[in-house]
């Protein structure tokens, strides 16, 4: 049998493109303006349905595959010194070379991706360079607020001290599940997140622990109320403004040697409310290793191997088994098992501008259904940067 959001039973191949210009202007010693024009095109196989931990973090669930220009980010970053000590800030995307106060308060206001500032990890967070799977690049159980392309509007406040940081955000939610329009009614619907970050160096090797908590208020439906006495489901009729979805995440990154690093994440959400912006995962546990090419005399190359296991909570599982549909998974019925994904890649740094990556992913029980898969996905990723 096949359902509305079943993974297609035939082989597919797809091409996608994303290109971003990172523009940062230093207005004065404590204010910077960041603007990122972006172009994205292409669609994922199966219209990006049938796998909760989808295989390409650069693919949004958009209606058209035509390359489309838009403004991805446009925000002000204000930084206030809390101590006279400074440290060198290295150049990077949306970051200028300079000196920053070691102890500082930062305020970011405007349009951005909330994952720019939360749930970061040195070894698994950038689908353009590292692991591509949705539930490896981010905490799969965090239904982080975003429009279809992954961006939102709001503010982030961050306090950074010598060995730790504390950040919080209030941002807009989409008006509908996986929608492209953001809800401006912050009094009713909004996403709130807070994260504590601890930095340390056991035996001289950098490590970071992050603890994330989130509370979303959305015009979302609840699974238990959507299961009707006659055995059918009606999620739309249960949608109410201000419906709560909450959870937490743990995130660890640790350097083992100069050229070897490991990471691990755990995510938990209440599992009572429909997925609204990211994907339909209620529990997620992942881990992996990253090896730098200096180990085999290929400076700039990188190997990554990781695995993730995604779960559904009871209400969510019962809803899908009764024939319910989310915006990304739903077979019409469900022979439940956790979704297990492994991913491995080799990134070959050809020269200063070009990197070519071969990536392989294997998905067991896609969309939590033992009647599906396993599925193999191979990817060639071409990355150019100046």
Task: Count the helix, strand and coil residues of the chain and give each as a percent rounded to the nearest 5.
Answer: 10, 50, 45
Nearest to 44 by CA among 65, 24, 29: 65
> For all residues of the chain together, what is the average pLDDT?
94
* Interstrand relation of 23-28 and 190-200 (parallel, antiparallel or unpaired): unpaired
CA-to-CA dists, residue 150 to 22, 119, 279, angstroms: 17, 14, 12
Judged against a pLDDT cut of 70, whether residue 219 lies above it is answered with yes
Residue 98 pLDDT: 85
Q: Give just the sign of the alpha carbon dihedral 209, 213, 218, 220.
A: positive
Q: Given its phi and psi angles, is residue 360 left (phi above 0), alpha (psi -120 to 50 degrees) or beta?
A: beta
- Cα gap 381→386, rounded to integer Å: 17
Distance CA 229, CA 235 (A): 14
Residue 45 phi/psi, 5-degree rounding, is -65, 150
User: What is the arithmetic mean of pLDDT over 227-246?
Assistant: 93
Mean pLDDT over 77-105 rounds to 91
What pLDDT shows up at residue 62? 67
Note whether 157 and 192 are within 8 A (CB).
Answer: no
Place of tokens 């997140």: 193
Per the CB < 8 A criterion, the answer to whether 308 and 218 are in contact is: no
pTM metric for this prediction: 0.92
Residue 147: both structure tokens together = 């429009």
- Report whether pLDDT(64) > 80: no
**Per-residue pLDDT tens over the stretch 65-78:** 788 899 999 999 99
Q: What are phi and psi of 189, to 5 degrees?
A: -125, 130
pLDDT for 29 beyond 90? no
The residue ranges of DSSP E strands in 312-386, in sequence order, are 339-349, 354-364, 375-384
pLDDT digits (tens, 9 = 90+) for 351-381: 889 999 999 999 999 999 999 989 999 999 9
Exposed / middle / buried, residue 123 (Cβ in 10 Å: 0-12, 13-18, 19+):
buried
Query: Residue 3: its pLDDT value, please?
Result: 86
Is residue 298 very low, low, confident or very high in pLDDT (cuts 50, 70, 90)? very high
Q: In percent, how much of the chain has pLDDT > 90?
A: 85
Residue 63: predicted pLDDT: 59
Question: Measured in Å, how far apart are the chain's first and last C-alpha atoms?
Answer: 48
């Amino acid at each position: 049998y096949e359902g509305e959001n079943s993974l297609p039973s035939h082989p597919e191949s797809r091409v996608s493109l994303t290109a971003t210009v990172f523009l940062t202007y230093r207005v004065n010693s404590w204010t910077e303006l960041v603007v990122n024009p972006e172009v994205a095109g292409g669609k994922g196989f199966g219209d990006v349905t049938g796998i909760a931990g989808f295989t390409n973090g650069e693919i949004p669930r958009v209606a058209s595959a035509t390359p489309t220009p838009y403004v991805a980010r446009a925000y002000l970053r204000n930084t206030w010194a809390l101590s006279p000590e400074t440290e060198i800030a290295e150049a990077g995307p949306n970051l200028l070379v300079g000196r920053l106060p070691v102890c500082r308060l930062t305020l970011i206001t405007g349009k951005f991706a909330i994952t720019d500032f939360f749930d970061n990890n040195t070894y698994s967070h950038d689908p353009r360079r590292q692991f591509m799977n949705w539930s490896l690049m981010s905490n799969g159980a965090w239904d982080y607020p975003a429009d279809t392309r992954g961006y939102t509007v709001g503010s982030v406040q961050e306090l950074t001290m010598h060995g730790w940081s504390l950040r919080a955000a209030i941002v807009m939610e989409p008006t509908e599940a996986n929608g492209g329009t953001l809800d401006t009614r912050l009094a009713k619907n909004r996403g709130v997140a807070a994260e504590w970050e601890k930095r340390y160096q056991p035996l001289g090797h950098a490590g970071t622990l992050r603890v994330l908590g989130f509370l979303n208020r959305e015009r979302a439906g609840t699974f238990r109320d959507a299961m009707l006495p006659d055995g059918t489901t009606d999620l739309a009729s249960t949608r109410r403004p201000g419906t709560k979805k909450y959870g937490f995440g743990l995130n660890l990154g640790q350097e083992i040697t100069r050229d070897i690093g490991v990471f691990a994440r755990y995510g938990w959400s209440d599992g009572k409310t429909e997925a609204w912006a990211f994907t339909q995962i209620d529990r997620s546990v992942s881990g992996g290793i990253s090896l730098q090419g200096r180990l085999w005399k290929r400076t700039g190359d990188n190997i990554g191997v990781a695995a993730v296991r995604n779960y559904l909570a009871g209400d969510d599982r019962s809803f899908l088994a009764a024939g319910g549909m989310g915006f990304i998974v739903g077979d019409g019925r469900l022979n439940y098992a956790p979704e297990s994904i492994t991913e491995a890649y080799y990134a070959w740094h050809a020269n200063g501008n070009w990197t070519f990556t071969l990536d392989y992913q294997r998905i067991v029980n896609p969309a939590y259904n033992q009647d599906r898969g396993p599925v193999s996905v191979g990817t060639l990723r071409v990355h150019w940067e100046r």
